[in-house]
Amino acid sequence: MPVQGIFPLAAALLLACAHAGRAVPGDALAGGGFRDWMELGDPGAASARFAAALQKDPADPWARLGAAALARRSLDDEGEAAHLLALVSGSPRHPLAPVAARRLADLAEWSPPLSRAVEAGLEPLLAAGKLGGAAAYRARLARAAAAEARGDPALADRVRGENGAVLAWTLIGPCGAYHALEIDRPFPPEQGEPSCPAPPGTVPADPRPLPATSGGAVIEG
């Protein structure tokens, strides 16, 4: 059974390094596990190699990724989340940390126990500043997903805000009667004025708030 979702790219990179004669990322046991599974179709042998790699080094990120992928194959959501959290915690600056955090955002939405596990695992890492760049960004998104799953939209909004998301907009207008023909005309909001006179034949409208708690907004038409 092929690895699905976020794992193929990481596993393919590992195998490409091995075939090119370069050093296999992580422990050689983990590299052998991916070869057993993806080339030889033997997930049992892969599982044994990943387990041996983790016994040698519990923080081996490639072995954690492989064990998480096998847990996903077995529909073991709790086990998958545990391995991914261990990957992020044990190797917060490794390139696989954003990969793991991205998958944790999906798992956080599936059940209250998973959302609590994701929140408990990622919050201390973010608070301590151990995650940076893409890993921190993805971890905050996972926390936001966990907060929504637990019925805490205020926390979800706050965490998205920490990622720089715009959570509220203001609608102003209409400002022109022929907006499609007035491309070269500067309207007051474009010059920093939070209002504009109503065009002839239209009803004046006050500025309207537009909450966007998910971090994005689209206006059609």
- Give 201-218 pLDDT, tens digit per residue: 888 778 888 887 777 777
pLDDT reading at 2 higher than 70: no
Confidence of residue 45 (pLDDT cuts 50, 70, 90): very high
On whether both 44 and 135 belong to a single domain, the answer is: yes
For residue 22, the model assigns a pLDDT of 46
Q: What is the DSSP string of the chain?
A: ----TTHHHHHHHHHHHHHTTSPPSS-HHHHHHHHHHHTT--HHHHHHHHHHHHHH-TT-HHHHHHHHHHHHHTT-HHHHHHHHHHHHHH-TTSTHHHHHHHHHHHHTTT-HHHHHHHHHHHHHHHHTT---HHHHHHHHHHHHHHHHHTT-HHHHHHHHHHTT---EEEE-----TTGGG-TTSPPGGGGT-S--PPPTTS-----EEEE-TTS------
Structural domain of residue 179, as residue ranges?
166-221
| Within-domain flag for 69 | yes
On whether both 205 and 150 belong to a single domain, the answer is: no
| Within-domain flag for 1 | no
| Within-domain flag for 2 | no
pLDDT reading at 169 higher than 50: yes
Domains contained in the chain, number: 2
Last residue of a domain, one of 120, 147, 162: 162
| Within-domain flag for 29 | yes
Q: Which residues contact 212 (CB under 8 A, 6 or more apart)?
A: 166, 167, 168, 169
Distance CA 81, CA 114 (A): 7
On whether both 197 and 153 belong to a single domain, the answer is: no
Q: Over range 163-175, report the average pLDDT.
A: 82
Confidence of residue 113 (pLDDT cuts 50, 70, 90): very high
| Within-domain flag for 216 | yes
| Within-domain flag for 138 | yes
Does residue 100 or residue 196 have the better pLDDT? 100
pTM of the model: 0.72
On whether both 134 and 98 belong to a single domain, the answer is: yes
On whether both 150 and 217 belong to a single domain, the answer is: no
